[in-house]
Structure 1
Amino acid sequence: MGLTSNKVLWLAIVIAAVLFIGTVWLWPRLARQHWRSVSGRVGLLLATQVALFASVGLAANQAFGFYASWADLFGTETGQGVVVDHSVHGSGGPLQVVSTSEVPGVRATRPERGGQIQKVDIVGRRTHIATPAYVYLPPEYFQPQYRTRTFPTTVVLTGYPGTARSLVDKLNYPSTAQRLARDGRVQPMILVMLRPTVAPPRDTECVDIPGGPQTETFFAKDLPDAVLGHYRAGKRPGGWGIVGDSTGGYCALKLAMHHPRVYAAGAGLSPYYNAPIDPTTGDLFHGDAKLRHRADLFWLLRHEPAPDTSLLVTSSREGEHNYKSTMDFIQRVRATDRTRISSIILDSGGHNFNTWRREIPPTLQWISGRLTDH
């Protein structure tokens, strides 16, 4: 049974309930001051607490999509896979469609009515980074009257560790984009949804690590090339945007600032503004001061020419730790002459899916207004 299986969750809940009832029932019998009785009480309490924590942890993982599998949880996911191109245009692009499915929450079975989710495997030509992703194609993509049209494209990133699937069925990006397009509030867009953790279990913070994964190059060059080689995605400057939450939000802002000719707009939901160094990241910079400075978005604004791009940041006055740094970032960007800044500031909201679901519809409207349609 998989980590995200409902059977695993219910089994953990049942075990926790049985242990709790058993503890209450057996406690009087273990009341004696004897080493066996004491050991029994300790064992029952320990087992009950472990079962309770496991139940809560499994439920939280189901709700927030931190880990997709047991291998993902224990850091043993290392397989790179082999990509076979199935491009509809016959061009050699490093993208393989693994499966297709309907858009969750949309009552339509035909793709020209309800759009389509494609699970894909991508391998970077330059970086050789391999990662799974989900691609949302809007209904218009399959309609005859749009057969020659290219579509604006938005890359959507999770936080760390995160799972790409959570962007589809937890944060509801595809169904939200489709509803907004149907109401005329956004233009039909392709969404490319994946996690920034392209070298699991390491958190690379979208950095080109010396001697390690070239994550920034993957997102700035390999990913757009793979998508452009397979789909009718916009090729003109201004046709691509990028959105992310938490770690993905930091990556989205940084990629838009570092590569404004690739990403015309970048939105960070609950982002931070500098790459941390901790046990999940390891040594990202290997003593390279220039690389370390460029990972700091405040340093970029102070020392390099302002990029010609549009940025959106979000936070909450209560519940988010990034509120002060976000307000500082807004003021710093406003002092530049080329970078444009917008914000969504909630009165309250934590660092969680519920908050981001409140911010995603206006974020998609914002990014749609900044991308060329074809």
Structure 2
Amino acid sequence: MELTSTSFLVTLIAVTALVMLLALLLWNRVPGPGPVRWAARVLMIALCQLTAICVVATWINGSYGLYASWDDLLGRGTGENASAMTGPPLGRAKFTRGSDGTLGTYFRGSHSKLAGQVIVWTPPGYDDPAAAGTRLPVLMLLHGYPGSPRSWIDLGSMPGGLEQLVQLGTAHPFILVMPEIYPGGVNTDCSDTPQRKIATWLTQDVPDLVAKNFRTLPEPKGWGLMGVSTGAFCAAKLPLQYPKVFRAGAALDPDPLTGDAEVLPDPALRERNSPMWLVRHAKAADVGLFLATSAQDKDSPPRQLAAFAKAAQGTGVRVKTLVRPSGGHNFQTWTGMYPEALGWLSTELSAPANPS
């Protein structure tokens, strides 16, 4: 049973109710001497509290997207040695289809030498022989920290959120690519550091993997990013750093755009990997950025979006901002931003096309 599934939450609620009912029924029926009865009653109270705490913790996790799976919660496969796990040779990958229709692989990049999970979804009709000559734009979805690629599926209503907008005619059908943004378990805000080349993983290894295995439009006009929280920071940063790879990025509730000292302690490295510094030094890059937040989000205050838009003036970088009146730092808020974000991305990125 998945950590973020509704059935798991409902099961916990049912167990909590059952434990409380049993405590009421057995409170005065516990046999034995006084100390034994008191010990049993304390145990019943503890069980009631534990199950109730589990319900609340599961609800909070589902609302804020803190952990997307049991492996994510328990730290399996995301430790310091995760990038050295036995897997395919460098640059090779074998995709397997999941029950939800997505294609997944554990892939080791030939440029970064890092290894991580990559999930790909192709829109309906992709495998139709009549569409064999059609190439599609690519949208990479960057999860937050903590999180995993499956956060978009288990918590983020993807690909359903995109499919609804495609049916309405307000968004392109994209190939969705959901990679790990901190392979090896260390968050670098999608930056290359002396220890880990995560920017290289996201801008060379993953695009190479997708372009070799799927019918994609050429970079950069056919490639974009959308991220949430830490992934939103990356979605604002990477197009500015790598305009020859990505033409556009949509950042939903981005982390502080000046960088995080806890993530990159080196001041010079942190500054040169911050969207604020990058946009000020952009040289007429053909890049568009969409930044969104809510007036209630203290983790991503509206003032930083305004400051970023001001810094972008005169650089040639196209910036659009959205501030919703309410909403927290969670997928409930972010899914509400999909229509504006995906609609805007569809104006920045090329539509599906048949080059022949």
Q: TM-score, normalised by structure 1?
A: 0.80
Post-superposition Cα deviations, 1:114-154, rounded to whole Å, max 9, x if no partner, equal xx522233321111222222211122422333312221111
Of residues 199, 203, 206, the one that matches 1:220 is 203
Contact map agreement 1:160 1:195 (CA 8 A) in 2: no
Alignment of 1:88-167 (within 5 A): 94-101=92-99, 116-167=101-152
Q: 1:324: how far off?
A: 2.0
**Taking structure 1 as reference, are residues 73 and 170 closer, same or farther at Cα in structure 2, changes over 3 Å only?**
closer
Is 1:265 equivalent to 2:270 in the alignment? no
Is 1:83 equivalent to 2:88 in the alignment? yes
Is 1:328 equivalent to 2:307 in the alignment? yes
- Within 2, Cα distance between the matches of 1:368 and 1:324? 26
Alignment of 1:1-374 (within 5 A): 3-4=3-4, 9=9, 12-21=12-21, 43-62=43-62, 65-78=65-78, 79=82, 80-83=85-88, 94-101=92-99, 116-200=101-185, 202-211=186-195, 213-272=196-255, 273-278=257-262, 281=263, 284-285=264-265, 287=266, 289-303=267-281, 305=283, 307-322=285-300, 323-333=302-312, 335-373=313-351, 374=353
- Within 1, Cα distance between the matches of 2:69 and 2:242? 33
| Secondary structure of 2:205's aligned partner | helix
| Partner amino acid, structure 2, of 1:336 | G
| Partner amino acid, structure 2, of 1:133 | V
Contact map agreement 2:251 2:290 (CA 8 A) in 1: yes
- Within 1, Cα distance between the matches of 2:164 and 2:21? 47
Which structure 2 residue ranges, 5 or more long, are not aligned?
none
**Taking structure 1 as reference, are residues 329 and 171 closer, same or farther at Cα in structure 2, changes over 3 Å only?**
same
- Within 2, Cα distance between the matches of 1:127 and 1:222? 7
| Secondary structure of 2:118's aligned partner | strand
| Partner amino acid, structure 2, of 1:324 | R
Q: 1:224: how far off?
A: 0.6
- Within 1, Cα distance between the matches of 2:65 and 2:330? 11
Q: Which has the higher contact order (CA 8 A, sep 6+)?
A: 2
Contact map agreement 1:81 1:130 (CA 8 A) in 2: no
Q: 1:227: how far off?
A: 0.7
- Within 2, Cα distance between the matches of 1:59 and 1:341? 35
Q: CA RMSD in A?
A: 3.0
- Within 2, Cα distance between the matches of 1:363 and 1:244? 10
Aligned length: 342
Post-superposition Cα deviations, 1:90-132, rounded to whole Å, max 9, x if no partner, equal xx95332122445xxxxxxxxxxxxx52223332111122222
| Secondary structure of 1:56's aligned partner | helix
Name the counterpart of 1:109.
Answer: none
Post-superposition Cα deviations, 1:271-295, rounded to whole Å, max 9, x if no partner, equal 12143244xx5xx45x4x4322112
Q: 1:302: how far off?
A: 3.8
| Secondary structure of 1:134's aligned partner | strand
Contact map agreement 1:252 1:267 (CA 8 A) in 2: yes
| Secondary structure of 2:295's aligned partner | strand
Moved more, 6-15 or 361-370: 6-15
- Within 2, Cα distance between the matches of 1:360 and 1:226? 26
- Within 2, Cα distance between the matches of 1:325 and 1:77? 35
| Partner amino acid, structure 2, of 1:275 | G
- Within 1, Cα distance between the matches of 2:193 and 2:281? 22
Q: 1:210: how far off?
A: 1.7
Q: 1:321: how far off?
A: 3.6
- Within 2, Cα distance between the matches of 1:332 and 1:36? 70
